[in-house]
């Protein structure tokens, strides 16, 4: 995981035009979410029961059989639906039934599917031909994306085109060369995901197992896999009047939460490095004071975030239990560690909404330069008036202000305008955007200074960090 150091002092006149300076490279570990995020479930009808063979799919939710899809045609797929993790009876009925008709109908199949928290599942209704009973295959998507520069391939055999072992197949290249991991696939089995080279054409065919030179059961069109692509091929049909074919199941990854870590805890002089853990996994090492990390991307859910002081063993300085929402950006700030204020973690969600024709300014007092009342600060404008009502802010105080867009010259002072005087850089607030202004340091281990972090920083727009 790369670390993003704060640029040297930059004065902005008229517009924000600084560059982010990237330093170092550090691999980040993956952290697994706790079991609180919902599961997602989709349903695909692949049972060749004859003709279009429409079916109705119901889930037993809180004890009630609830229709989630009526008249689902062969080959059709219901989109993802969110549900709490748990075990759900799945009922399959013939035809297109309403919720009212469900009570008097007899299901063709009743089976329980277990849905895992924060995981995506596709339930495939298959069988019902060639001696294979009607059944439900549960496909759980991989949580790990393909490696950089690679794709992944998963093959699911849901085509009861022959009885028993005669339905077992191999997936090979057009010239008969075996594809490791895709041999001897029996009906109802799934193989993969397997890593696949991106940018290379693959010409695949499906043949009876152990017979690569025989005419293919199904010849797939040549395909070039794109980097990062996650392909799931479902082989269906071959009975009940349905031709043998392949259905590609779309991979719809959840938008992840994005977290950057900002080290503002002046517990020591120099770089005062810290390690960061997500649950039990260390994801950042030796993050220096006054440094903002690269993005950590995490699945939605609950996490325990912790900051450690390096050592043998490392010493935990602080931790925080958090709930991260999908597609949301956050800044995790480590503050405190001087003047009797212990180190603590503060999670700041990105500012995503602003009132019309306004800007948002968040202010965080992260400067433990003195204890108690002596450590309070005022936020003042260039005329020395209190700005936004932020007088006598205690250490750790946070305020979110709605202001007019424009150029501001602000500074932090002690109570009633006394020392210390901590000027902020020229602050340009754009209508419709959010910005966070930090004041940090303790005046002993680390100097007192300010820091401006544009909220869009947690997106892939690299706007500048500005410090005084």
| 104-135 pLDDT, tens digit each | 999 999 999 999 987 899 999 999 999 999 99
- Judge residue 226's burial from the number of C-beta atoms within 10 Å of its C-beta, 0-12 exposed, 13-18 middle, 19 or more buried: exposed
Quick check: 5 pLDDT over 60?
no
Residues 32-56: what's their mean pLDDT? 80
Q: Which residue has the tokens 């500005």?
A: 466
Calculate the CA dihedral of residues 115, 116, 119, 124 and round it to 10 degrees. -30
Spatial CB neighbours of 101, under 8 Å, sequence gap ≥ 6: none
In this prediction, residues 244-269 reach a mean pLDDT of 90
* Buried-state track 163-184, b at ≥16 Cβ within 10 A, e below 16: eeeebbbbbbeeeeeebeebbe
* Rounded Cα distance, 158 and 155, in Å: 10
Q: What is the pLDDT of residues 198-211, one digit of tens each?
A: 999 999 999 999 99
Task: Say what the pLDDT of residue 136 is.
Answer: 97
Instruction: For residues 179-205, give the mean pLDDT.
Output: 95
- Give the mean pLDDT of the chain: 87
**What is the reported pLDDT for 183?**
97
DSSP states along 158-188: E---SSGGGG-EEEEETTS-B-TT-SSB-TT
- Tracing tokens 């599917």 back to the chain, one arrives at 113
pLDDT for the residue numbered 10: 30
């Amino acid at each position: 995981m790369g670390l993003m150091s704060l640029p040297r002092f930059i004065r902005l006149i008229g517009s924000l035009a600084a560059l982010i300076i990237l330093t170092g490279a550090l691999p980040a570990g993956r952290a697994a979410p706790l079991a609180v995020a919902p599961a997602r479930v989709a349903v695909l009808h692949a049972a060749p029961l004859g003709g279009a063979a429409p079916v109705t799919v119901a889930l037993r939710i809180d004890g009630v059989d609830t229709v989630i899809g009526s008249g689902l045609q062969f080959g059709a797929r219901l989109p993802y639906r969110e549900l709490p993790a748990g075990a759900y009876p799945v009922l399959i009925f013939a035809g297109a039934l309403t919720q009212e008709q469900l009570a008097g109908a007899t299901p063709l199949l009743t089976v329980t599917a277990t849905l895992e928290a924060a995981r995506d599942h596709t339930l495939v209704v298959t069988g019902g031909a060639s001696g294979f009973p009607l059944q439900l295959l549960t496909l759980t998507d991989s949580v790990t994306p393909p490696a950089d520069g690679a794709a992944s391939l998963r093959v699911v055999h849901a085509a009861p085109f022959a009885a028993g072992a005669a339905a077992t197949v191999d997936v090979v290249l057009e010239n008969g060369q075996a594809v490791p991991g895709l041999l001897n696939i029996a009906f109802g089995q799934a193989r993969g995901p397997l890593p696949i080279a991106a940018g290379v054409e693959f010409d695949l065919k499906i043949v009876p197992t152990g017979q690569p030179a025989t005419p293919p059961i199904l010849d797939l069109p040549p395909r070039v896999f794109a980097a990062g692509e996650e392909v799931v091929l479902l082989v269906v049909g071959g009975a009940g009047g349905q031709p043998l074919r392949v259905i590609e199941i779309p991979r719809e990854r959840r938008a992840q939460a994005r977290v950057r870590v900002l080290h503002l805890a002046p517990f020591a002089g120099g770089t005062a490095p810290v390690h960061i853990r997500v649950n039990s996994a260390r994801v950042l090492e030796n993050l220096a004071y006054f440094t903002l990390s690269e993005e950590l991307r995490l699945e939605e859910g609950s996490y325990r975030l912790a900051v450690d002081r390096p050592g043998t063993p490392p010493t935990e300085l602080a931790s925080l239990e958090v709930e991260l929402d999908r597609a949301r950006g956050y800044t995790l700030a480590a503050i405190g560690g001087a003047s009797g204020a212990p180190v603590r973690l503060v999670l700041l969600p990105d500012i995503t909404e602003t009132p019309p024709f306004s800007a948002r300014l968040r202010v965080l007092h992260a400067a433990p330069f003195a204890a108690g009342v002596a450590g309070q600060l005022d936020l003042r404008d260039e005329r020395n008036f209190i700005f936004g009502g932020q007088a006598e802010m205690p250490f750790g105080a946070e305020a979110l202000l709605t202001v007019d867009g424009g150029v501001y010259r602000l500074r932090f002072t002690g109570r009633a305008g006394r020392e210390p005087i901590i000027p902020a850089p020229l602050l340009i607030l754009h209508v419709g955007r959010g910005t966070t202004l930090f004041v940090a340091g303790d005046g002993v281990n680390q100097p007192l200074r300010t820091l401006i972090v544009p909220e869009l920083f947690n997106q892939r727009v690299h706007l500048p960090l500005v410090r005084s």
